[in-house]
Amino acid sequence: MTKRIERFLAEQKPPTPCLVMDLDVVADNYRRLRAAVPHAGIYYAVKANPAPEILTLLDKMGSSFDTASVNEIDMVLATGAKADRISYGNTIKKKEDVAQAFKRGVTLYAFDSDAELAKIADAAPGSRVFCRILTSNANADWPLSRKFGCDVQMAKTLLLEAAKRDVVPVGVSFHVGSQQRDPSQWDIAVEQAAWLFRQCEEKGVMLSMLNIGGGFPTRYRRTVPGLKTYGVAVQDSLSKHFGNRIPEIVVEPGRQLVGSAGVIQTEVVLISKKSDGDRKSWVYLDIGKFGGLAETMDEAIQYPIVSTRTGQPMPVALAGPTCDSADILYEKADYTLPADLAIGDRLEIRAAGAYTTTYASVAFNGFEPIKTYCI
Ligand SMILES: *Cc1c(COP(=O)(O)O)cnc(C)c1O
């Protein structure tokens, strides 16, 4: 919670639920990442929060952009950023979308299969391509495993194959899982990438770029290691496996840049119990899983939820307002709220700047998507 957000909420009293983003915090997060990985190209993962004000700010600060669809590419271009600062990092693209991206000047594409490589070679000839490899995603609160990437043997075959087609194989990418709490996870994937670089070089294909993905965390309820620790772990790992031939490094931060910059304000709609003897109270909010808090799935991401009341802590289950029983935020995690909490109170859901607005449904049960205010 920042002073600016506090003042905005007190003065403007916007209807709830709403997300307020403090752009100063985004800028600060960008500078901290810049310092932690000074030599890396920063490609903001647009999906984390594509608010035009955020894209414009990051463009001004020199960021590049990781996109997953033609719409995201258009959002970035609308800020005035040039297409050469855009990577089309989704490994699952329609051929027509590759063609549309290419028409807009995008020439950097991810792939993890032969069929995807064929689409890129056909629809975006001459482009640079990088192959995503599988990683375990251990110790990540929001894993991105199994679905993306191929094993290193297949990656080798694909990169060598790419060299024979009308594209330029430039490197390797991976993602260690989002909200990765363990900085040592990068080392496993960097080692595999270095092996791939050597294997390709032996066959005369010189790779030049290593994309080490996102995964840098936001502080939620649990503490996480500082960003510097991640920077040091990555640098040590690169030196260990690449020696003095470290390639061009790319990072794709999403959560780290915007998570801590946003606060969702929500209203308490109902407080009730399921039986007279119930220890837990059920607190129903005007935002839930379908209104933007999808990452509460399996209670994976645990946002700090704060009331200004001062009563004794009361154990609660928290749920959203929709007519779907999947719309429970936290039932197992030990959340408490002050016992004097009342219907109509406003609560703050902190560190909610990443993966909230984009995950909101269009209008399930008639509830409108959450509104964003950038200040
Ligand atoms: C989602 C995503 C990111 C951003 O991940 P964070 O954990 O939010 O930093 C980066 N790269 C790719 C390919 C992604 O899909």
Q: Is the CB of 255 under 6 A from ligand 1?
A: yes
Is pLDDT above 90 for 112?
A: yes
Is pLDDT above 90 for 341?
A: yes
Whether the Cβ atoms of residue 313 and residue 357 lie closer than 8 Å to each other: no
For residue range 344-375, what is the model confidence (pLDDT) as tens digits?
Answer: 999 999 999 999 999 999 999 999 999 999 99
Question: Hey, which of 43, 175, 256, 359 would you mutate to test ligand 1's pocket, going by the most ligand atoms within 8 Å of its Cβ?
Answer: 175
- Indicate which residues carry an active-site annotation: 323
Determine the pLDDT at residue 168: 98
Question: Hey, which of 135, 144, 176 would you mutate to test ligand 1's pocket, going by the most ligand atoms within 8 Å of its Cβ?
Answer: 144
Contacts 24+ apart (CB under 8 A), 79-86: 79/52, 79/55, 80/56, 81/55, 83/107, 85/59
Of the ranges 43-57, 129-143, 355-369, which is most confident? 43-57
Strand partners, 64: 43
Determine the pLDDT at residue 139: 87
Cα 33 to middle of ligand 1, angstroms: 15
| Average pLDDT rounded to a whole number, residues 37-64 | 98
| Average pLDDT rounded to a whole number, residues 15-42 | 98
Q: Is the CB of 46 under 6 A from ligand 1?
A: no
Q: Is the CB of 45 under 6 A from ligand 1?
A: yes
Q: Is the CB of 252 under 6 A from ligand 1?
A: yes
Determine the pLDDT at residue 1: 82
Whether the Cβ atoms of residue 317 and residue 297 lie closer than 8 Å to each other: no
Percent of the chain at pLDDT exceeding 90:
97
Which ligand 1 atom lies nearest to the CA of residue 216?
9
Cα 215 to middle of ligand 1, angstroms: 6
Strand partners, 130: 110, 171
By CB atoms closer than 10 A (0-12, 13-18, 19+), residue 314 is middle
Determine the pLDDT at residue 50: 98
Assigned CATH topology for domain 23-258: TIM Barrel (3.20.20)
- Rounded Cα distance, 70 and 96, in Å: 10
Tell me the pTM: 0.97
Q: Is the CB of 359 under 6 A from ligand 1?
A: no
Question: Hey, which of 33, 42, 66 would you mutate to test ligand 1's pocket, going by the most ligand atoms within 8 Å of its Cβ?
Answer: 66
Cα 173 to middle of ligand 1, angstroms: 11
Q: Is the CB of 175 under 6 A from ligand 1?
A: yes
* Residue boundaries of the structural domains of the chain: 23-258, 260-374
Cα 271 to middle of ligand 1, angstroms: 36
Phi, psi of 104 (to 5 degrees): -85, 0
Q: Residue 360 corresponds to which tokens in the numbers above?
A: 């909101």
Which ligand 1 atom lies nearest to the CA of residue 179?
7
Whole-number average pLDDT of the chain: 97
For residue range 252-310, what is the model confidence (pLDDT) as tens digits?
Answer: 999 999 999 999 999 999 999 999 999 999 999 999 999 999 999 999 999 999 999 99
Q: Tokens 């007279």 sit at which residue?
A: 276
Determine the pLDDT at residue 300: 96
Which ligand 1 atom lies nearest to the CA of residue 256?
9
Percent of the chain at pLDDT exceeding 70:
100
Cα 162 to middle of ligand 1, angstroms: 24
Determine the pLDDT at residue 94: 98
Q: Is the CB of 47 under 6 A from ligand 1?
A: yes
Whether the Cβ atoms of residue 267 and residue 73 lie closer than 8 Å to each other: no
Protein residue whose Cα sits closest to atom 15 of ligand 1: 90
Strand partners, 305: 349
Protein residue whose Cα sits closest to atom 5 of ligand 1: 214
- Rounded Cα distance, 79 and 62, in Å: 13
Is pLDDT above 80 for 145?
A: no
Q: Which CATH class is domain 260-374?
A: mainly beta
